Structures are given as structure tokens and as C-alpha cells.
Structure 1
Amino acid sequence: MSNSPSIILEKLKIIGVDKNYEIKFREGINVIWGDVDCGKSSILNIISYCLGASSIDTYDELDAKARSCQVFARFNGVRYIFERDLFDKDQYIKCHKEYLSEDKSPRILSPSINKELDAPDGYISFFILDILGIPRTEIKVSPSKADSTMNRVGFKDILKFINLKQKDIASDSMLSMNNAARHVKHKEVLKYLLNIHNEKISSIHAEISNNTTSLKRKESEKKGIFKFLEDTGFDIDYDYEKKLLESDFLISEIDNTINSMKKDHRLKIEFSSSVKNELSAINEHILWSAEKKKELIDNLEKYTKLKKSYLEEMKSITTTIDIEARFSIIPDKEINCPICSLPQKGILKDESISIDSLKHEKLQLKRKITGLSSLIDNTRCELSDIERDHKIALDNLDKIQSKYDVKFANEVSSLVETISLLEKEKIEILSSKKVSQRDKKIISRLDIIDEEVSNLEKIISRLETDLVKANENATNPTDVIKNLNDIFEDLMINSGLSNMSNVYIDKKMDYHVRNRAFTKLTSGGVRTITSISIFLSKLVYAINHDSNFPTLLMLDTPGNNIGRNRDSKFNDAESSDPELYENIYRRLAIISDLAKDADKEFQIIVIDNDLATATMGDPRFYIAKRFSKSDNRFDHGLIDDIRI
């Protein structure tokens, strides 16, 4: 089985204004088909956008009904959920691991490399490389130049090789073939994905060094956090999730009990809203004063420790001044040491710290100690005031309760007392819940660091394996290109096109059919089949060979320029051959069998206007969605509650 990374899309979810819209996918081949202008192509565009593409072209239904999008996907078997605003491309992207949870903070990722350092968790394209275990690298923009600018490769660059857009099929815009500079860059990225990037061994060494440095930094950060938690008596193994659930349950039970009491007819008549508000205000004040007291105690302890350290330092300086005064005498004159009684020679003036400097430092410390003493006194006074205020609030609470008991007799006063006690209990639980939420966030941070450490270890392990392979096998780029060439040639020969001679990939990694470069082909049908075969060849290579290629392909309208039925209105006879169209899907089915034999996860998502006969009844094809403007049995589009 190859070590090529896998991405299995599970679901696309559109968070709407009135409702949510979603489409589910499976491992293997997924087909979405239906009438034109139903927003089918936008599904793949939204997926790419949610995974870091720069922008997205929206349409009327999406503008009217949608707010954001979520992509659920497994990356090398681990589920991640990415969420992005559909209409603000500069807004940070959220990433949840395994599941969505309000209690678990998501990663916050930048959609742009220019804002990588602004986002707490970096740039999305680099993050996806990390979770796929693909080592980060840089490529030369101009490989032939020694001083060429180096560009960092991200997942955004890989998206261009796994998403064949409808507008790019049969077009020179595919992989920027119509732009020489960009096309050269794409070919350098391709070499990186095929593990034949120039200076591979030195690049691997550099990546191992960089990732090892990052790993040590993360481990040091983790160690520092653990040390802090141990020093503060933090219980790392405590089940904070369970504690939060228990707190929510208790709060819910208290609220239900209080609401039930308030529904009592007599309570509605006799319960004073002003007293209730007063009780609530006092309870809030009690909670505040308790928190303030803890803060002041912590500050007092901090100030006291700091003052103690200053006193010790001033004592040390005083001793130094005393010794300096005794020993700063005429050189070579012996005197008896006041500590050990042994004869000592004087110290040269220019070898010691001046008395004036020491006295100045001592004076500064005295001022700091005086300031701290004043701060400590003020803190103690404030603490005393808070404690007195806290006691007064408790006394007031008791007084109000007593007054209420006298006024409303035993039944009502008992009811009020119960509600008051429940309110107190709720406040205590809420206070405890806040602490648990804070502690859970600390644990979540440790989990994130653990995940980052694990990802770095995987990357380093993968790099070390790649380095061994690079050193021992020294893979010849010619062999890789030959393997890719054989796959491409097989796909073209079995496409149904005639005269498939001189089909090959040259040393510059340009594709040729009938001895012509792709951009020189004139037939729309041949261009279409060649476009699809170029992308399929890379997918098949990733299934059968070690690479950095994800085993995912998104294919938009493969029947572009190809008619399902032969029609005289087509000038290009090849373009109207229905066998060409059917053969596309037959090749997809064969790729499914190849992946099964190789025991390799893969996924293809096809958007089309028609449903190929080859797919009907074949379990290898999963119909993820069908759209129709005229048949009410099917959704009009992904946004299914607008009919135009």
C-alpha cells in the first residue's frame, strides 16, 4: 500500500439564514447530477473555498439563503471540520477536530499566508499539510536560476491538482498552461508531490532540522505548562467534561425547581419582585466580593514574596558595602579577615564595584520596599474592606430573609428561603462551572500541543523514511515520469479516441497526444479526454506509489465538449461519440477496483449534467445527489427552498 495521504470528504453543510443545507459523500466514487444552472459546480467550489481557496463565486440563491459553510472530512483517517464565512473571505477559518463542541475551542486559522502570524493557529494551507503528514517545503519560482525566489508550498497549491474545474477542462487555463511563469511553478509543485523535487535530499535534511526544532519548542512549552500546573496543584486527570455536564444538569434542575415554585398561585400574588431583585443583587455582590477577596489574597501573597526578595537583596548589598569598606585599602597591605581570621591583601579599587553604586542600588531597593510596603498595606486595607463588605452583605441577606419570614408567615417565608438557598447554590455551581470551563480550556491547550507534537513526530518519521529511501534508492526522476507516463498512456489508449499514437509525458513534464503538446491540440473532444486523463493519471499514481498526492479528485462536468448521443449539429465527430462519455465512467470504475486491490482509501466526486449508463446499478458509484428544476421528487439545487 502506498503512503500517499488520503482525504475523504464526508459532508458539505451550508449554514443558512432560515435552515441548513447539506450533502453527504462516501469513500469511493460519488456522482452529483441534474439540470444545468442548479448550482452543482458551486458544490466543489465551496468545498475548495472552505479548505483554503482564495475566493468563491456565489450565486443568487446562495446570496439570499446562506451565511457560512462547513466541510466534514477525514484526513488520513482523522476527522476535521472546517467552517468559513461565505461572504467575508478575510475572516478567520475555524477548525474542529473529531466533532463540533461549544465547550471545546476550535483552531483559528488564517485564510491568507499574509496573515499567517495574526491567526492564533497559523495558515490553513500549512495546517492541512501538517494533518496530512506532508512535510512543508519551498520550491524555486524559476528552477533554472540559482538566485530564484523560493515559495512555500501549501495545500492551496495541491488543490489545483485535485480539483478539475469545468472552465479548465480542455482549456489552456488548466494548470495555468497559458501562463508560462505560473505553469513552471505548477510543475515544480508537481515534482514535489511526486517526490522528485530538485535537491530532494538536502531539502529533507532542512525539513527534518526545522521540524525537530519546532518539536523541541512544543515539548518545552508542554513541559512548562505541566510544571506550572503541578506547582499550582492542578488536577490534570480530572474529568472536566463530566463536571461541566453535572453542573449543567444541576443548574437545570435548580431552574426547574425555582420555576415550579414561582408558578404557585400564592407565590404569584405575594412574592415581591423588589425583594427578589434585592436578593439577587445581594447574591451577585456576595459572589463578586468572594472573587475579589481571592484576587486580593493572591496579590498580597505576590507582593509579600517580592518584598521579601528585595529585603534579601538589600541585605546582601549592605554586607557587600561593609566588606568593601573593610577591604578597599592600600594594595599589598595584609589584614586579618573578620570571617576566617586569615591574613588577606587589599583589593584594588578598579577591580571592585564602587561604594557609591552599591549605595545607590540600596537606596533604589529601599524605595521599592517602601512602595511595596505601602501597596501591601493598601491591599490589606482593601481586603479588610471587602471582608467587612462581604459580611455586611451576608447580614443584609439574613435581615431581608428574617423580615420576609415575619411578613409572609411560615409557608411563604419557607418558600422564599428555599428559593434563596437554591439561588445561592446556583451561584456556587455557576462559579464552579466557570472554573471548570477555564480548567478545561487549559487541558484543551495541552491536547492541541499533544496533537501538534504528534503531527511533528509523524512528519519527522515520514521525512526520515523518505531520507532513507532518497539515500538508498536515489529515485531517478526518469523512473517516476515513466510510471506516470504509462498510466497516462493507458488512460488515453482506452479512452475510445482513435489514433492514440505518440502519447507521452516529456522530460519537462508536458503532456503530448498524437505527438502534439496539449496546448496545440485542436479537437475539443481530444482536449477534454486529455484533461481528464492528466488528472486521473496523478490519482492512479498516488494510489499505487508513494507520493505527497492526496487520493482525492473533484471532477466537474467531464462530459464537457462531449455529447452523450451522436448528433449532426456537432462539427467534431469525436466530440459526439457517446462511447467517449461512457468510457470516462468505466475508467473511474476501474480506478475504484485498483484502489480496492491496493487497499488504499480514495475518493472521486463527479459533477455532471447527465447520468452515464455505465453507472446505473453499479455499486461502485454512489449517487450523492440529483437536482431537477421540473421534477418535484428531487431538490431544485443545494439551496432547496427557493423556486425560480
Structure 2
Amino acid sequence: MMKSYLNINSLILVGVRKNYVTTFYKGLNVIYGDSDTGKSSILEFINYLLGASSIDLADEIKTSVNYAALEVVINDTVFTIDDIGSKSFLRLEDWSRYAFTKEVFKYMFNVLDESIARLQGEISAKSSLVTELNKKYQIISEFLRDTDYETIESIDDEINRIDLILEELVAGLSALDKNMKADSMQYTELKDAHNFISLKYKECILNISTLEDKIDKYSRLKNDYDNDIEKLKAIKTANSRIGVLDKEVFSCPICDSHIKIDDSDFPFEISSEKDLNEELNSLSRRRRNINDMISEMSFKLKKESGYKKELDEQLDELRELIDEESQSMITPFLTQRDFYIKEISKNEKVREQLVKDLKVRNQQEELLEKHQVLIKDIETLTERLDALKKNAPSMEGILQGLGDRFSQYLKGINIKNRTGIKISERYYTPVIRGKEYFKITSGGLRTISSIGYLLSILDYAIDHNVNHPLLLIFDTVGKYLGKQTKEKYSKETLAVEDDLEGMSDPMKYQNIYEQLLNTVQKAERKNVPCQIILVDNDLPNSFSTGELSNIIAHYSSVGEDGLPLGLIDDL
């Protein structure tokens, strides 16, 4: 079965002037050279393209590169780590974030303590429910015993018996109601007559309503005609009184000039007598016609109203006759019908009480069923919990395995005083001479420890099926190793401690590379796709390229021996 892994094939930087391509291979991939030549920027691009939220690049790269692409072969989750040898290794300086790192560690090694804890919590919750249900069941059972409740089966039988009785009673009542229908000729004739008169009565009501609406409409129209006739008469009277103006000449009382009054000086029109008479005659004729129609419809309304009164009297008389006939026929049935109704009511009340009793009994049964379901769920969860505990690796065993590998690595590096070496049970980090990683003051020893820690995890992943991408990325392995530590790293270490640890010994630097190479060679022997990408300022003298050791890039800030000036080599 192929292990899950992640391999990086190439990093392509699409530039303004040209493209910059870095190709990677299986095994150990080394990028080295002078400072500030873009080595770490390659790792920055890889980290960013594998999902980091930000990237920090030099100005020359920002102005030379449009965008970047990473060609990878990936089967599983990405895992990227940097800050080798730093005090911030694995975010140990931020304990709130390191809690997350510990959970990642557990996930990596399939430690299922969270799943186990979740199952234990479910079992505990369901067990509490079982206890609560037991109490409720006990209370209901005692109540039922004290009140002599019947069993569910006997209650069901009694309900079924009552249902049969009710069915017979309802059928008897229905048959009696059918028999109570009038079967005499006189009753039938009275009903038919009542229906016929009711129909006539409805027609009469409709006719009366229609006539009233028409009379009201024509009355309003007649009033309009009356108003128009009165207006015309008023106009005629005005014309007769005004008469014709005399064309006399008058002297102005102010200026002694002569004033002549002419009809054309008035802006209104005076209708002729003939026109007024014609219009008045026309309106009078229409008024007489409307008045005749109102009189005719008023007569019809009076007639219909009288007819309605006759129908009312006939209907009242028919109702009395029908009631008398019905009473004479129904009386013999009343006693028998009362019996049916009382029996139905009595049996329905009995059934209602039985249903309540059944609900109480069913509640007891439901509690028992819920109890059994919970017990079964608890059994299932317990089985799953036992299986998880059985199959899940123990953290103790994992830490022991990592500690053994870490110890072998330190032996290969040949550090001084190799005692108290393990992986911390509390922090899951390296311990040397009984001292936790974050308490080590030698930057060189921290570098060796952090590389060894990550190599130990990779070595464990080669031997076991764990959630590791089989990819490691290291930046500046030798920053605390060698004769002189650069100024920018000096704040992270104590030079005295580095001297005591013998960090200036070139063999330690060489041994780190040998341990890296040993790990990728082991992966090759086991046919495990493993890849390590390493950035450094220099290389050990003994390093040589081979099938599993590749120099990916070698930069010189001055172009020594024709080497590229850096990642961006065309400035």
C-alpha cells in the first residue's frame, strides 16, 4: 500500500524579463550560496503556494516576478515547517498556538485520544439518561401497582369490546333515524307544498327588490327634470322682466359728454322665447313619461307586497301543519332514540378513560423501550471505544519510538554528554540532558535538536502509516554552526554555550548532512517517496552529489566561477 506523500517537482516564477525555474528531485535537495541571493525566497514561495497566508519577499523579486506556480505530486495533507534552531521553533513561545501544534502532533501519529474522549463523553451522557429513565420507570411502576391498573393487553381488549358496542349502537341509531322519516301521504304533500310556496316567496322577494330599485332610480331622474323645468321657468320670467333696452343718450354727470347704451355692450347671451318654450315642453313630456312609469311600478310593488303577505301566511300555516304531523309520527321513536344516545354517551366515556389508562401504561412501555435502546447504544459505543483503544497507538509508545530515533541521531552527530535524551511527554518536544528544548541556551544545540526532532518524525513516518507528507523543508541549517555565528543570529544564542558544546567543530555540520542523507537512503530502500529541501549558506567539504543528493542551486553574490548571482540572475 502506497503511503500518502507530497513531492515538489518544480517552482516556476513567471517574470517580467524571463521565467525562473527551480527543479526538485527525490531525496535530498540542497540550495546554497551567499546571503541575500534569494535562497530563502524559494522556500517562501513554496510555503506560500502550499497554503501559507502571507509571503515576505525582497524588492528585487517583487519587481521581477509577475506570479509563481508550484508543480507538485500530492496524495495527502501538506505539512510545512521552518524556523530551524530558532527559539520560536514549533511556536513554542506562544502557548495558545502550541496547543494547536500538539493536536497536529496527535493527528499525525493517529493518536485518537480526542475520539476516545468523545466516545467516553457519549457513553457518560447516555448512562446518565439510563439512570434518569430508571427513576421515572420506578415511579410509574409503583403508581400502577398501587392503583390496580390493568395490563396493556387487557386494556386493549376492553377498548376493542367497547368499540364493537359503540359500532352496534351507532348503527341502531342510524337505522332508527331513517325509520323516523315521514312515510304518510299527508306529510309528503305538506312538504311539497311548503317547498313550492317557499320558491314562490323567494321569487316575490326578488321582484319587490327589483321594483324598489327601479322606482328609486326613476324618482331621482324625475327630480332632475323638475329642477331643469324650474330653471327654464325662471329664465323666462327674467327675460320678461328685463325686456328690451332703450337706445337713449345720457349726459355724463362728470364731464358733460354723451353716453349711448347698446345691447352689444353686454357680454351675456339672452335666449329667445321660442327656444325656451321648446326646451320647456320637451322636459315636461319626459317628466310626464317618467311619472307614468313610477306610478305603474308603484302599483306593481303594492301588488307584489300584498302577494308576499299572502305567501307569508301560507308558509306559516304549512309550518304549523308539518310540525303537528311530524310530532305525531316522531313521538313513538323518542324513547327508543333517547336510549341509544345515553348508551353511546356512557360507552364513549368508558372508552375515553380506558384510553387514558392505556397512555399511562404505554408511557411505562416507552420508558422501557428507550431504556433498552440506550443500553444497546451504550454497548455499541463501548465496543467502538474498546476497538479504538485496542487499535490506536499509545502516546507513550510513539514518544518512546521518537526518543530512540532522536537519541540515535544525536549519537550520529556526536554531541557531548548524551544523557537524559527523550521526547517530552508534556510538550512533545526534544529533551536533552533533562532540559526542555525551549530552555536550551545554545543556538547550535537547538539547531541540531530541531533537525533531529523533525528527522525522527520523518524516520517514524517511513516505518509506519502516519499522517505525514514525507516532505521536510529546512532553512539555513548551519546558521548557529561553524567558527563564527552571524550577527543577525547572535541574539538567539549564547556564544559561551556554543563554545562549550563544540559547535565550531566542522564534523558536527558534516554529520547533520550525513544524517539527512541516511534518512532519504532508508526511504529509498523501503520504496517510500521521501523528499527533503534544504537551504544553507555553505556545504560540508565531504558533500557530494548523487542519485539521492542533489544540488538544486548554487548562488554567488559576485558571480564567482560563473555562478548565478541569485534566484533573480538577470539584473
Structure with higher RCO (Cα < 8 A, 6+ apart) = 2
Q: TM-score normalised to the size of structure 2?
A: 0.49
Q: Greater helix share, 1 or 2?
A: 2
Q: TM-score normalised to the size of structure 1?
A: 0.44
Kindly name which structure, 1 or 2, has the bigger radius of gyration based on alpha carbons.
Answer: 2
